[in-house]
Amino acid sequence: MPKKIVILGGGTAGWMAANLFVKKWSEEQVTVTLIESPDIGIIGVGEGSTPTLKRFFELIDVAEPEWMPRCNATYKVNIRFSGWSPDSGLENYSHPFLSQVDTLTQKSFVVNCMTRRLGLDVHTRPDNFFINGVLAQQEKGPRTPENFPFVMDYGFHFDSGLLGEFLCELAVSRGVTHVQTKVVDVEQNADGDIAALLSDRGNRFDGDFFVDCTGFAGVLMQKALGVEFRDYKSNLFNDSAIVMPTPITKSFPAETVSYAMSNGWCWKIPLTNRYGNGYVYSSDFISDDDAETELRTFLGTLDSGEETRHLKMRVGQLDKHWQNNCLGLGLSQGFIEPLEATALLLVQISIELFIAEYEQGDFSAKHRGEFNQKVHARFEWVRDYIVAHYKLNTRQDSKYWQANRENMELSDSLRHLLDVWYRRGDLGKELQRQNIESHFGTLSWHCLLSGYGAFPPLAQDQPDKGDHYKENDIEHLLTGCALNFRSHEENLADLVGQDS
């Protein structure tokens, strides 16, 4: 008999899981049912991704022209951070997604960062060392002609409601059973396993395995199974967000911009039909009304009458992501605030790890402990990378930024990483020593630390040589490479009408 998997929740997490399960397993191995309540609805935010989403679409065999125009999607080659560290002397810097071309320049970047840590004046602006950073500066898209010899990596921006609809249609066409009803009770066996979900219309949905994708409600993992939630409030202060669209401009770079605000930060994400904007802040430092006024002033929409949405965020992770015969996914398993748009990345990694461990254990819970340990570590590593953005800020305009800077609630792992950096040690070796297998590798850490200007003062005597950016003529190399790319606008126009 095939294993019966029941997913509760039809937000992006639920539909990503449904699509990956039916793609991976045949109907003889596994049947998938997804239950969602249209009355409750989805959170409907989450418009930025990492390159892992590109891999997701490759895994489920969906080409960009099929899904991007339907989801008002655009390309994303980096995140630009504006105003986070005035002392760095850089008004903004970017954290580009890495591509194959960057193997030619990354060593120079790391060497220059080391040289600058010795007090010598060399080039360390991360955007200028990586092809995606240069493409963003030139408002180009990441699509290459077929004869370009390097593989490009990039992410996307998208309308999360439309993406959910697209993934729902696809999953149903591939054999997923879709049920729209509200689950009001959970039936459990004596050993604590979930036996069935009961709906408000008196229906019973039994299964061998259940996936909790109910968002912040945490219906199965937290409420039914009592799994504890570890919150990150002591080192990530933000707990609220206000979301508001603004009209799209004629052209725009393929990037998310993250602007530091008085008590948090604001994302600006271009979709083909609008900008999505959102102020993420800490309610301990600013009221919802003041945050809304600040956001509207910033966006120039004080008198626009455009409605805003206020959201509360639960930041942290479950103590266990797989408990009994149930997996937590998406916001129900945890959330580390959207600064690096890592939520769907963690969803996908969790699904992939689950598929591997469940299969290796012959569709049993044999590898549950191993899975929990791996997912837990992934969350912690992403958390540390985000915390570093707050810890290293050099803003002086509010108590919020000062409290972030002075916050000593850091993990041992992060303390060691920062210590190695300031002692001019090798960050790559330290990541290896700590066995950190994260989306944020050595180069991401170098982008962050150099972008923040986390360097000692310049030495008095400068030898005026040893700048690998100049000596290896990286500007020439990357501007030459960029000649192969067309504008972001043209890349998007190319997608329309090609969805056959």
Residues lying near ligand FAD in the complex (CB under 6 A) are found at 8-14, 35-37, 40-43, 45-49, 160, 182-183, 213-215, 217, 219, 241, 278, 311, 313, 330-332, 338, 341, 343-344
Nearer to ligand FAD, 386 or 431 (CB): 386
- Residue 100 CB neighbour total at 10 angstroms: 12
The DSSP H or E segment spanning 72 is: none
How far separated are the first and last CA of the chain, in Å rounded? Answer: 36
Contacting residues for 173 by C-beta, under 8 A, at least 6 apart: none
Is 399 designated active site?
A: no
CB of 51 to ligand FAD, least distance (A): 12
Q: What angle do CA 269, 270, 271 make, to 5 degrees?
A: 120
DSSP 332-348: GTEE--STT--HHHHHH
Nearest to 244 by CA among 273, 266, 264: 266
Q: Identify each DSSP E strand in 24-141 by its residue range.
A: 30-36, 74-76, 78-82, 92-96
Give the DSSP letter of residue 459. Answer: P
Residue with Cβ nearer ligand FAD (9 or 69): 9
Q: Is the dihedral of CA 15, 180, 39, 313 positive or negative?
A: negative
Q: Which is nearer to ligand FAD, 108 or 317 (CB)?
A: 317
Residue closer to ligand FAD (CB basis): 335 or 371: 335
Whole-angstrom Cα distance, residue 466 to residue 372?
A: 46
- Rounded Cα distance, 80 and 468, in Å: 23
CB of residue 127 to ligand FAD, shortest distance in Å: 20
User: To the nearest whole angstrom, how small is the minimum distance from the Cβ of residue 197 to ligand FAD?
Assistant: 8
Q: Which is nearer to ligand FAD, 144 or 350 (CB)?
A: 350
Among 76, 140, 268, 391, which one carries the catalytic annotation? 76
81 forms bridges with which residues in the sheet?
93, 258
| Alpha-helix residue ranges (DSSP H) falling in 60-150 | 64-67, 106-117, 131-137
Which residues make Cβ contacts (< 8 Å) with residue 243, sequence separation at least 6? 45, 276, 277, 278, 308, 309, 311
Identify which of residues 188 and 364 has a Cβ nearer to ligand FAD in the complex: 188
Catalytic positions, written as ranges: 76
